[in-house]
Amino acid sequence: MADVEFWYSSGNARALDFIKEFDKYAHKLKGFVNITPRFVTWGCPACNPLFVKEECLSNGKYCAPNHIKDDFNRYDGKNIIMEDLRQTCLHQNL
């Protein structure tokens, strides 16, 4: 069996589009490929305190900056990380 890791962020619309499209084929690969989601974060302990408060967890150890904050994308990086953690837990408990 082959192991495949998908690295992405739940805050990246293109990555989520890819995951959604790939899901059509993932079920056919079951038993042949072991797929593991991995989520991208950055460390920024020396960043501006306001940035760390909005975009990071653990005092800047895990950051997922949302650079596109408009009327449709008003979530902060810390919310992206929490969603990534939720998705990790769901995947591990399937």
Tell me: the pLDDT tens digits for 20-77?
A: 999 888 889 988 998 899 999 999 989 999 999 989 999 999 998 876 766 666 788 8
* pLDDT at position 72: 64
Using a 10 angstrom Cβ sphere, with 0-12 exposed, 13-18 middle and 19 or more buried, the burial of residue 14 is exposed
* pLDDT at position 74: 73
Domain count, the chain: 1
CA quadruple 44, 46, 47, 49: dihedral sign: positive
Instruction: Give the integer Cα–Cα distance in Å for 76 and 55.
Output: 5
Closest CA to 9 of 48, 62, 47, 58: 62
Domain residue limits at 59: 2-92
Q: Are 55 and 69 in contact (CB under 8 A)?
A: no
Predicted TM-score (pTM) of the model is 0.79
Name residue, tokens 């650079």.
Answer: 67
